[in-house]
Copies of this chain bind each other. A is one copy, B any other.
Amino acid sequence: MKKYSQMSAEELLNEKNALQEKFEQVKAEGLKLDMSRGKPSTEQLNLSMGMMDILNSSSELVSDGVDCRNYGVLCGIHDAKKLLADMIEVPIDNVIIYGNSSLNVMYDTISRSYTHGVLGNTPWCKLDKVKFLCPVPGYDRHFAITEFFGIEMINVPMLPTGPDMDMVEDLVSKDESIKGIWCVPKYSNPQGITYSDETVYRFANLKPAAKDFRIYWDNAYGVHHLYDYKQDYLVEILDACTKAGNPDIVYKFCSTSKISFPGSGVAAIAASDRNIEEIKNQLTFQTIGHDKLNQLRHVRFFKDMDGVVEHMRKHANILRPKFEMVCNTLKNELGGLDLGSWIEPKGGYFISFDSLEGCAKAIVAKCKEAGITMTGAGATYPYGKDPKDSNIRIAPSYPTLPELKKAMEVFTLCVKLVSIDKFINK
């Protein structure tokens, strides 16, 4: 197909009319499809149904001598700590198990720093200004937490190797009010980028002006590969930090939300001895302990990391065709047209589409008009403001394959329809 940039004024008008006609037909179909959130499909949920049977009234509900039904055990039962420590690749003593939501753990981590400070440093609520670095595009719920606490967010561009580390190093070294950076280091949300070895080592060797600067390392998709034979590899950061003499600089977060059941998983934080000690101390005031029966359920169901890896293969088998459908439709419909760019991820939950400047909001609105719900344009940026109005997050997990095919046809149609005006109005 001819690029719009090479079309004459007449050709552009003809093409626009054709697209418009197609769009009216699609609208008439009254579609109702949702590609807005990274929500596992029913088929994926069914993979974990064994968890509903793994414990019953005849089960021994004891782990490491602890009756999992009763009060107690602040940091999680031993076997659950082992499982999640293996998953997050740290020693067992550097893990604390929480409830069902890693978002909650991250919120609580920010909240604790705000109310009580980090390792003896001034609580953030007593400071005039606290800032965070936000690699963009990124995860809207990260940005929402920092915004809720009145923390000023600074955009850092994502490169194919991860955040722009020249900029990160420069900023943190000279501004003591910068207290953290949000990272989704593997199969990032929304681009599916995995930080390069060099990026991780540069993180581990950061020399921030603020002693209480922390890397908020949300390894949400650590085991969420799409392929067996081509997987991204991420250097384990806590070990890298320790070796760099910087053990306290990172908090790692993970959960089983997209492994077992999204609403009933198990979340964890991992960090250095000193950080874990501090978090434990605070946790003593917050709870007597999280749900140990659910921890036990996970331990008995997955057994060990091999069990998790095997289980993730089943997820991949369901997700892979969906990701391929999205990428193929983008390629078939938009390939070579210079109307936008995207990365084909090897894992995670999203595909990120960058439209021509100033088109994202209009594309998402057009999709909505045709019954396709996308993540709001701008959501991948702090304050919901995408300065170029170009990034759109595509979440392919929840719709069925036929729904997804339809939705992507509509999406690419909307991309063309919105983009063409840029050339007509030139």
Instruction: Enumerate chain A interface residues (CB-CB to B < 8 A).
Output: 37, 39-40, 42, 45, 48-50, 52-53, 55-57, 59, 61, 67-73, 99-101, 103-104, 107-108, 111, 114-116, 123, 125-126, 141, 144-145, 148-149, 257, 261-264, 282, 284-294
* Min distance, Cβ A334 to any Cβ of chain B, angstroms: 30
Q: How far is the CB of A320 from chain B (nearest CB, A)?
A: 20
B294:A264 contact, CB within 8 angstroms = yes
Residue in B111, B141, B263, B264 whose beta carbon sits within 8 Å of that of A111 in the complex: B111
11 examples of A-B residue contacts, CB within 8 angstroms: A39-B71, A45-B67, A56-B56, A70-B263, A71-B262, A101-B289, A111-B115, A262-B288, A263-B291, A264-B291, A264-B294
- Residues of B close to A257: CB separation below 8 A: 71
Once the chains are docked, how many angstroms separate the CA of A403 from the CA of B404? 65
Contact, CB under 8 Å: A69 / B45: yes
Query: Is the Cβ of A293 less than 8 Å from the Cβ of B71?
Result: no
Contact between chains at B115 and A261 (CB < 8 Å)? no
| Contact A103-B287, Cβ < 8 Å, known A56-B53, A125-B115 | yes
Complex CA gap A123/B124 in Å reads: 13
Q: When the two chains form their complex, are residues A263 and B292 in contact, meaning their CB atoms are under 8 A apart?
A: yes
A69 adjacent to B287 (CB under 8 Å): no
Assembly CA distance A73 to B264 (angstroms) = 12
| A68-B264, A107-B285 given; 16 more Cβ-contact pairs under 8 Å | A39-B71, A53-B56, A69-B261, A70-B261, A99-B100, A100-B290, A101-B290, A103-B286, A107-B286, A108-B286, A116-B148, A125-B126, A141-B285, A144-B284, A263-B292, A291-B294
